Every structure is written in structure tokens, then in C-alpha cells.
Amino acid sequence: MPRTLTPAEVKPSRTPTPRDLQGSRTTTPRDLQGARTTTPRERHVTGAVPAPAVHPIGTPLGLSPTAGTLGVAAWLRDRGIYPPAGRRWTIQIALEPHDRPASFTFAPTKFHITINPDSWGFMFVHGDRTSTIHVTNIATARDRDEHRLLAMAPPLRRIGSLVRDLEARYRFFFPRHHAAVRSDIPSSEPMLRAWISSF
């Protein structure tokens, strides 16, 4: 027959504290949702390969993100123009200060813009002087900069500000509606003319 314990031998039971209860929550079905057993192969992976960085602005033809490429990509996006994938293209715009359609042939006064997938530039001819500025990694003067426009070269999206500065400096006006436009990108001319009219 088992011996009965005396009151002195009975230890009072301790009330559990919040510390005792930490981590003792009962697992619910919700906890198990999406739970997946790892395989031995997964347990031995020492490090994960980081995903390649994605540039915030897509660059045409996957070219390096130079100033020219990013400027052109942002400009295309703002205009809603989508060039054909995997193919080179060129956009040309010519302005002349006459009340007749401009052309791409020689003129004593002309502002000419050229845009490619990875660069853009402009040429200004007036009074026997020429400035030709080309933007790839940085803006550079190609051949001559007799009007000293290199330091004034704006981003492509703001080229209209330079056109207005030249009009004020030399006191003439380029009629925007007479601009000559050439583009290898199908259906882009209406968007290009809308941009030119905003200069």
C-alpha cells in the first residue's frame, strides 16, 4: 500500500509565469498553410545568388546605360513612341526660320536634331558659323562649336528651351508647323510633331 505524504512533504505547485509560456503557442491549421518540407539538398545551400539589378528605365537594344541612351529612353517613354525591337532607327528633325516647309538640305540658318537608340545631338547653323553637339556618355562638340552651345546643351526632353534661347539671341523664329521630320519608327510622326509644337 502506498505511503501517504504528509503536508510538509507536499511541494506547493508554482503558477506558470508569462516567461514559461513563451513559445508554447498551439500550432493552428493556419500556421501550416504554405509550409514546405526542405530537402537535404536545400539544407546544404550556403548562399543564394542575388537577382540581377534591373534599371528603372529600359534601355533600347539592351545597351549600356549612358547619358545618351537614358536620355533617349526617357524621351521615347514620355512621347509614347515604341521603336521596333532589335533594329536600329533614326529620327531627324529640321527647323528653318522661313514661312515655308523646312528641308534637310543646306540652309544659311537651320536647327537640326538627330536621335538614335544610344545617342542624340543637334546642329545649329547661322551667319557662317556652326555648332554640332553630340550626346553619348557626355555632351561633346563634334567638329565645331562656333556658337558656344556645348555649355548650354540641355537634356533631350528640354531641347525646346535651347531653341527658344537661340530665337531670342538672334531675333528670328522657327515656325514649328513647318518642321521637316524623318523617322524610321512607324506611326511616330504625329507624336514627333506634337513634341516640336511644344518647343
Residue-averaged pLDDT of the chain:
80
Backbone angles phi, psi at 4, to 5 degrees: -85, 135
How long is the chain? 199
The pLDDT value recorded for residue 130 is: 97
180-183: strand order across its sheet? 139-145, 129-135, 120-126, 110-115, 91-95, 180-183
Please list the pLDDT of the chain residue by residue as tens digits (199 residues).
556 666 555 555 566 565 655 555 555 555 555 555 555 554 544 555 444 443 344 444 443 445 788 889 999 999 999 998 889 999 999 999 999 999 999 899 999 999 999 999 999 999 899 999 999 988 888 889 999 999 999 999 999 999 999 999 999 999 999 999 999 999 999 999 999 999 9
Q: What is the pTM of this model?
A: 0.66
The pLDDT value recorded for residue 59 is: 42
Q: How far is CA 166 from CA 70, 110, 147, in A?
A: 26, 11, 10
**Which residue type does 165 have?**
D
Q: In sequence order, what DSSP letters do the residues of 34-96 get, joined into one string? A: T--PPPHHHHT---PPPPPP--SSPPGGG----HHHHHHHHHHHHHT--PPTT----EEEEE-
The pLDDT value recorded for residue 33 is: 58
For helices 189-197 and 67-79, the axis angle rounded to 10 degrees is: 100
